[in-house]
C-alpha cells in the first residue's frame, strides 16, 4: 500500500484540466511562427494535373490537389506561409503545422496534437529544429538529413514525409503564382 501511495504522489501533482493531446491550434501555431504578422490570409491552392505529376516524379505523394495555406502578412508584405496538416503516426493522427519563410524554406515545425502511447518525443524542439532552413531541394528523409527517434520511427517518418510534401506544394504554389 505504501508503494501505491508513493506512486499516487506524482499523479496527484500532475497539472489537471489541461487538454491532454492537443498542444496548440493551427491559429496559435501560426501566431507563434510569425509573431510580426499583422494578419493571416487563407489562400486556397489548387494543384493541376501537371503539378501533381511533377510532385509524384520528385517522389512526393501528392495526396491532395486542394491545399489551404495561411499567408502571414505585414501590410502587403508576405512574411511567409503556414500549412496545417495531419498524418497517421502508428495508429492515430498527428496534427502538425509547417511555417515557411517567404522564400519557401522551413521556418518552424510545430506538433499540434499527438495521441500515440509512444513517440511523443517528436514534439521535442531539438527534433523539430532539424527541419529549419530546409527547402524543396533537401532530401527531407529520415535516415538522411532528419534523424530518427528510437521508438517513434513511424511517427518520425510520416511527419517528415508530410513536411516534405508541404514544402514541395508551397514551392510549387510560389513558383506557379498560386500563392
Partner 1 sequence: MKVDPRFALRPLAAALLLGCGLAHAQSTGEAALMQRLDQLAAELAAVKAELATLQQQRATAAAPVAQAAPAAQAVPAAQAAPVADASGSARYSVSAGSATVIGGYGEINYNRPKNSSRDAQADLRRAVLGIQHRFDDRTKVVTELEVEHAVASSGDDGEVALEQAYVEHQFSPAWAARAGLFLVPMGLINENHEPNAYYGVERNFVETAIIPSTWREGGVQAVGSFDNGLTLQAGVATGFNVNKWDPAEGRESPLGAIHQEMQLARSRDLSLFGALNWRGIPGLLVGGGVFSGGASHGISVNKSRVTLWDLHARWTPGRWDLAAVVARGSISNSAALNNEFGIVGSDAPIPRSFDGGYVQAAYKLWESGSYKLKPFVRVERFNVARRYADGLGPIGTPDGLPTERVLTAGTNFDIGSGVVLKADYQKFKQNKDLDRFDLGLGWSF
Contacting positions for partner 1 (CB under 8 A):
3-4, 7, 10-11, 14-23, 25-27, 40, 42, 46, 48-49, 52-53, 56, 59, 64-66, 68, 70, 84-86, 88, 90-93, 95, 97, 112-113, 115, 117-118, 120-121, 123-127, 129-130, 143-144, 146-151, 153-154, 157
Give the integer Cα–Cα distance in Å for 135 and 69.
17
Q: CB of residue 98 vs partner 1: minimum separation in angstroms? A: 12
For partner 1, the closer CB: 26 or 136: 26
Q: CB of residue 176 vs partner 1: minimum separation in angstroms? A: 15
**H helices of the chain, where?**
2-13, 26-33, 49-57, 125-128, 153-176
For partner 1, the closer CB: 34 or 40: 40
For partner 1, the closer CB: 3 or 177: 3
Cα atoms in the Cβ-side hemisphere of radius 13 Å centred on 114? 21
Q: CB of residue 45 vs partner 1: minimum separation in angstroms? A: 11
Give the integer Cα–Cα distance in Å for 169 and 161.
12
Q: Convert 42-74 into a string of H (helix), E (strand) and C (coil).
A: EEEEECCHHHHHHHHHCCCCCCCCEEEEEEEEE
Amino acid at each position: 500500500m505504501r508503494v501505491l501511495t508513493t506512486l499516487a504522489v506524482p499523479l496527484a501533482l500532475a497539472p489537471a484540466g489541461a487538454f491532454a493531446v492537443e498542444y496548440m491550434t493551427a491559429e496559435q501555431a501560426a501566431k507563434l511562427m510569425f509573431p510580426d504578422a499583422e494578419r493571416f490570409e487563407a489562400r486556397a491552392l489548387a494543384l493541376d494535373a501537371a503539378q501533381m505529376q511533377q510532385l509524384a516524379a520528385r517522389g512526393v505523394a501528392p495526396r491532395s490537389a486542394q491545399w489551404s495555406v495561411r499567408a502571414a502578412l505585414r501590410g502587403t508584405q508576405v512574411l511567409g506561409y503556414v500549412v496545417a496538416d495531419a498524418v497517421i503516426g502508428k495508429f492515430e493522427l498527428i496534427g502538425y503545422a509547417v511555417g515557411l519563410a517567404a522564400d519557401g524554406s522551413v521556418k518552424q515545425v510545430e506538433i499540434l496534437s499527438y495521441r500515440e502511447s509512444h513517440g511523443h518525443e517528436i514534439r521535442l524542439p531539438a527534433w523539430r529544429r532539424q527541419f529549419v532552413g530546409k527547402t524543396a531541394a533537401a532530401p527531407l528523409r529520415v535516415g538522411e538529413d532528419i534523424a530518427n527517434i528510437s521508438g517513434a520511427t513511424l511517427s518520425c517518418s510520416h511527419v517528415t514525409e508530410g513536411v516534405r510534401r508541404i514544402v514541395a506544394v508551397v514551392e510549387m504554389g510560389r513558383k506557379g503564382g498560386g500563392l
